[in-house]
């Protein structure tokens, strides 16, 4: 299980987050959990064929 600091949208601050075991067997799992409030966060991963987060023109 990985541990990092990440901005939690629920706590509104940078918190310690943990990466639980990946049930979907991703090589790099995007799922993280805030240890303070338990919020699920997704970060650092885009699936194949995904476009950038830029808004459409």
- Per residue in 10-43, pLDDT (tens digit) is 999 999 999 888 888 877 788 899 999 999 998 8
Does 54 map to a domain?
no
Work out how many domains the chain is built from and give that number.
1
Does 15 map to a domain?
yes
Whether the CB-CB separation of 34 and 42 falls below 8 Å is answered with no
Residue 57 confidence (pLDDT) above 80: no
Integer angstrom CA distances of residue 24 from 13, 35, 37, 38, 45 = 28, 21, 23, 20, 13
Does 55 map to a domain?
no
Q: Print the domain residue range for 23.
A: 2-42
Sign of the Cα torsion 16, 21, 27, 29 reads: negative
Q: Give the pLDDT band of residue 47 (cuts 50, 70, 90).
A: low
Does 22 map to a domain?
yes
Does 18 map to a domain?
yes
Which residue in this structure is represented by tokens 């950038």? 52
Does 31 map to a domain?
yes
pLDDT at 45: 58
């Amino acid at each position: 299980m990985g541990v990092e600091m990440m901005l939690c949208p629920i706590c509104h601050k940078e918190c310690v987050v943990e990466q639980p075991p990946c049930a979907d067997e991703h090589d790099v799992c995007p799922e993280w959990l805030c240890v303070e409030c338990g919020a699920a966060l997704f970060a650092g991963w885009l699936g194949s064929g995904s476009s950038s987060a830029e808004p459409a023109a």
